[in-house]
């Protein structure tokens, strides 16, 4: 992910400096599949090398626990055009839908990133807004598209 933050600063809200300073324990916690974590990151390997990653965060407050957020989708350039992004996304969506209280997944994507938007649209996401000046990268500002996807089930709040 540090490579992603460094090579594509416009695509991520976090900076490489912010994330590089975090302890290894923080990263390991995101990889845990114990119970129902608040955050989880999935990766895919090609010949033993990490070839992509995507994360999910889950709301735990009473009024918002029906939502999950997709974050950190990244496939390094050398592994693109292999369908890995689609496989990662499908896996993340499958995991999110397996959690009984989750009704929808939302995400943000850099405005103008047509390949990413197309991937998300192929997987049922629709745009619901544009956030101007969402991320500052140096002296430039990047806008973000907000997208969401609902799972086909009804959940009554408890």
Would you give the DSSP letter of residue 79? Answer: G
113 within a domain of the structure (yes/no): yes
Reported as a pLDDT band with limits 50, 70 and 90, residue 155 is: low
Please report, rounded to a whole number, the percentage of residues in the chain having pLDDT higher than 70.
85
Beta partners for residue 149, in sequence order: 105
6 within a domain of the structure (yes/no): yes
Reported as a pLDDT band with limits 50, 70 and 90, residue 23 is: confident
157 within a domain of the structure (yes/no): no
Does the global pTM surpass 0.85?
no
State how many domains the chain has: 1
Q: What is the pLDDT of residue 154?
A: 57
pLDDT: which is higher, 130 or 152: 130
Q: What is the pLDDT of residues 44-92, one digit of tens each?
A: 999 999 999 999 999 988 999 999 999 999 999 999 999 999 999 999 9
Q: What is the pLDDT of residue 153?
A: 64
138 within a domain of the structure (yes/no): yes
CATH number at residue 121: 3.40.630.30
Which pair of structure tokens corresponds to residue 72? 């950190």
Say how far apart CA 7 and CA 100 lie, in whole Å.
36
Say how far apart CA 32 and CA 45 lie, in whole Å.
17
Q: Please check whether residue 87 is in contact with residue 122, taking contact to mean a CB–CB distance below 8 angstroms.
A: no
156 within a domain of the structure (yes/no): no
- For residue 116, the enclosing domain spans 2-150
Q: What is the pLDDT of residue 60?
A: 87
71 within a domain of the structure (yes/no): yes
158 within a domain of the structure (yes/no): no
56 within a domain of the structure (yes/no): yes
């Amino acid at each position: 992910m540090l490579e992603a933050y460094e090579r594509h600063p416009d695509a991520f809200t976090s900076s490489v400096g912010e994330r590089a300073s975090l302890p290894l324990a923080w990263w390991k916690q995101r990889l845990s599949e114990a119970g129902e974590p608040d955050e989880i990151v999935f990766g895919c390997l090609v010949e033993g090398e990490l070839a992509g990653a995507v994360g999910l965060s889950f709301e735990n407050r009473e009024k918002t626990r029906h939502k999950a957020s997709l974050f950190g989708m990244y496939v390094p350039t050398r592994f693109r055009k292999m369908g890995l992004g689609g496989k990662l996304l499908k896996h993340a969506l499958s995991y999110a839908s397996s959690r009984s209280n989750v009704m929808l997944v939302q995400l943000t994507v850099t405005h103008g990133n047509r390949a990413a938007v197309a991937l998300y649209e192929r997987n049922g996401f629709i745009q619901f807004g544009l956030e101007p000046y969402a991320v500052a990268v140096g002296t430039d500002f990047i806008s973000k598209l907000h997208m969401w996807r609902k799972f086909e089930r009804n959940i009554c709040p408890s």
